[in-house]
Structure 1
Amino acid sequence: MTQPRQQTRRPPQAPPLSTRELNRATLARQLLLGREHRDRRDAAEVVEHLVGLHSQLPGNPYTALWSRIEGFDPEEFSRRIERRELVRISLQRSTLHTVTARDCLALRPVLQAAQERLLTPAFGRRLAGAEPVEVAARARELVEERPLTFHELGALLAAQWPGGDPQALATVARQLLPLVQVPPRGLWRRGGAARHTTAESWLGTGPAADSAPDASDASDAPDALVLRYLAAFGPASVKDAQTWSGLTRLTEVFRRLRPRLVVLRAEDGTELYDLPDAPRPGADAPAPARFLPDYDNLLVGHADRTRVVGAAARAAVWTGNAARPAFLTDGFVGGTWRLETDTRRARATLLLRPLGPLPRAARAALEEEGAALLAFRVPGADHELTWEAPWYG
């Protein structure tokens, strides 16, 4: 008599993470549920945890860190840039980031492929036959003699390759060389042209330093980067990690790492990965009012941004590839803000434009946090906070 076949029971799947649960988990990783005290983890350690801070605008990292660190000292952070402990360099998505010196040396080789992908055959026609490797070698000599702006570098390279477009020649140098911006660019309340030299020249060492966090050989370097990404941005999908880093073909990396990760699901069924011991607070965890600068990590760290930017907020926050400064209320983008000062910085106005009507308690919390932001950004000035008409409704 044929015995009935026993069916293998699969363990029940965990319920999908709701958007609010994803929101709270990401805010916890980004240190936006509660400020980190600088005695527990200083600014450089926070920058390393966040795998760098987007720095297209020189003031961005200062506002980002003020929103994340209790007692953040911008002058000390600025002095650490002068001491070459922190640098500004093109990294994720080929955009400018502020990172520690050791992360500069560790991350740029891992992300180099994303830099080189921009040098397409169509772009090459602007070089008028100049070989990119030769252009980069000459550019290295020039910027290591003295830091140069891209305009100055392009003009000097065009003198050697007269048929080439100076801007294109300088772009080759930017994509192939680890060029850092030197002070006073990026210092607190100080300006200066964006002048560049190589990371090796500025830091006095070569890439892939043994002291770099999670340093490893080139074969598994993307694995270490993905683990750090999840620690700061998880839970996240493969596509999220690719969008954040600018790298492609990370599916195999996640496949290798899968035994070390927990696998979760978003509400739409997307597979998400996370570190087993990473914080995932519940959906009801309180989320305070916070102000984010343009291109904050929270705004650009995922392909699917619905965990923080709802459908109504996208058009308000994003204009093309530009992300406006935004404020958070109940953990989600609730509107945009801008800071206006007079020429003497004697008067400063913080203008808040909500997406729509806000509850009285949310407005009061934003006004309190906004007053603190004004005191941080423009101390000693006469301060005013103004509500503008909502984006919608």
Structure 2
Amino acid sequence: MTVLGARDLNRATLARQYLLDRTTTPVKETVAHLCSLQAQEPQEPFTGLWSRLYAFTPDRLDRALTDRQVVRTHLMRRTVHLVTDDDALAWRARHDTMLRQRVLATYRRELADVDLDALAAAGRAVMADRRPRTMAELVDAVQGGRPGPPRRALGELLVAGLVPMAQLPPRGLWQTKGGVRNLPLATWLGRDVAPLPDEGDEGHGGDQGHEDPVGQQLVRRYLAAYGPAATADIRAWSGVAGLPAAVRALRDELVTFRDERGRVLLDLPDAPRPSPDTPAPVRFLPAFDNAILGYQDRGRIIDDAHLGLSVAGLRAVLVDGRVAATWTTDGRRLLVAPLRSLSAPEQEAVREEGHDLAVFLDRGIDRVDITAVRTAIG
């Protein structure tokens, strides 16, 4: 079995994430290819798309949101993601069990005695009037002044775990501040969430992988955007535990490799796997970008010493395809903090890309400063 080194995997990831070469693909199709963009910080996806799309302008994502082609919703790992309308409706039911379990695990004591079916029915009944509500307004309407579990716990269970919700614009629009207003996905998109065909492993699919078409689609789509990857990577990205049967059902159509740790990696036969010597341009990534977070083993793109930045909300700079710095803005400056010494040509490339990013951000930034090397972020 062919062994793929970290650099092989790095270049494959960059190619599939549109980080080797920007693409002219429309916004909706790009979000579909990437399977989603993590979006709990509403402005971050704009930078993620700017780094991937040729001549991207913010109004393109704004239009996709207001035209309901792309939607903000809780999905992978119980995190708010930007997902296409089609994927939100097709994938939500496959994530239902995981979403409920994660909320219940977070608020185990507070929600111990809640009747989930009754609460879900009450939430749907309240939202049947098609009026967008904040989480607090939804909790108030469901409780009707009666005592109950803590409002935060009840609200998160309703909007993330029980009633599939969309977060409506202006939340997530360019340089726009807006609180979260929720509406059921089916109401916002005018179509129902697709039901799953049968019950099984983790409530869905079970050992009948051939009866889990949604799980198989998730595996194929993940590999197209993130492969080659191990089954542990697929689970870490999705948060869904019940995909091994779907993987088994697909094994005959997949190719396999090993990484340097000996893990079996799966991939689509015709997916791009560029030469490890392929040049990789500097790229600025937003906070919580799935090019980093989309794996259980993130060693293909970030050193172990700096894994903490990927979950701490720090923005990353890729140099030669790997996380080599963090970045932020400070008044009229874009600040780059290297995680290792950068050569003079690397610093020049970082400044050039940083200046282009500053123009895109349109915040009066007039210089890019490279600071001293940071210590490890663990």
TM-score by structure 1 length? 0.87
- Local SS of the residue matching 1:294: coil
Q: Distance in 1 between matches of 2:194 and 2:120?
A: 20
SS state at 2:18 partner: coil
1:350-369 aligned at under 5 Å gives the runs 350-369=334-353
CA offsets 1:288-333 (integer angstroms, 9 cap, x no match): 0000000001111100000000123224x24xx4341000000000
CA RMSD of aligned residues (A): 2.0
CA distance in 1, matches of 2:28, 2:69: 8
Pairwise CA distance, 1:177: 1.3
Task: State which of 247, 250, 255 in structure 1 corresponds to 2:243.
Answer: 250
Equivalent position of 1:324 in the other structure: 314
What is the DSSP-based 3-state SS (H/G/I as helix, E as strand, rest coil) of the residue aligned with 1:117?
A: helix
Question: For 1:73 and 1:382, how far apart are their aligned partners in 2?
Answer: 17
**One-letter amino acid of the structure 2 residue matched with residue 151 of structure 1:** A
Structure 1: gaps of 5 or more residues: 1-12, 210-215, 342-347
TM-score (norm 2): 0.91
Larger Rg belongs to: 1
Please say if residues 255 and 267 of structure 2, whose CA atoms lie closer than 8 Å, have aligned partners that are also in contact.
yes
Show the counterpart of 1:106.
90
Report if the CA contact (8 A) 2:210-2:246 is conserved. Answer: no
Q: Does the CA contact (< 8 Å) of 1:144 and 1:197 recur in 2? A: no
Q: Secondary structure at the match of 1:24?
A: helix
Q: Which residue of 2 aligns with 1:340?
A: 330
CA-to-partner distance for each residue in 1:243-276, whole Å, 9 max, x for gaps?
Answer: 0000114322222111000010001110000000
- Taking the TM superposition and a 5 Å limit, the aligned residue runs for 1:378-393 are 378=362, 381-392=364-375
Q: Which residue is 1:31 aligned to?
A: 18
Q: Which residue of 1 aligns with 2:201?
A: none
Q: 1:70 aligns with which of 51, 54, 62?
A: 54
Go from structure 1 to structure 2 and tell me whether the alpha carbon gap of 1:206 and 1:122 turns closer, same or farther (over 3 Å shift): closer
Alignment of 1:161-180 (within 5 A): 161-174=146-159, 175-180=161-166
Query: Counterpart of 1:53 in structure 2: which amino acid?
Result: L
How many Å separate the matches in 1 of 2:57 and 2:230? 35
Q: 1:152 aligns with which of 137, 142, 149?
A: 137
Q: Would the alpha carbon gap of residues 164 and 387 (structure 1) be closer, same or farther in structure 2, given more than 3 Å must change?
A: same
Partner of 2:194: 208
Offset at 1:382? Answer: 4.6
Distance 1:256 1:190, change over 3 A: same
User: Is contact 1:334–1:355 with CA below 8 Å preserved after alignment?
Assistant: yes
Structure 2 stretches lacking a partner, 5+ long = 196-208
Change (3 A) 1:263 1:52: same
Aligned residues: 361
Q: Are the equivalent residues in 1 in contact too, given 2:212–2:246 (CA < 8 A)?
A: no
One-letter amino acid of the structure 2 residue matched with residue 230 of structure 1: L
1:270 corresponds to:
263
Q: Tell me, what secondary structure is at the counterpart of 2:212?
A: coil
1:109-120 to structure 2, matched below 5 A, reads 109-120=93-104
1:95 is displaced (CA, Å) by: 0.5
2:168 to 152, 170, 182: 182
Query: Which amino acid is the alignment partner of residue 122 of structure 2?
Result: R
Q: Post-superposition shift, 1:371?
A: 0.3
Q: 1:26 to 1:121 in 2, by over 3 A?
A: closer
**Change over 3 Å in CA distance of 1:182–1:390 after alignment to 2:** same
Would you say the 8 A contact 1:294–1:324 is kept in 2? yes
Structure 1 residues 69-124: Cα deviation after superposition (integer angstroms, max 9, x where no partner)? 00112112202211212110011101001111111111111222211222447835
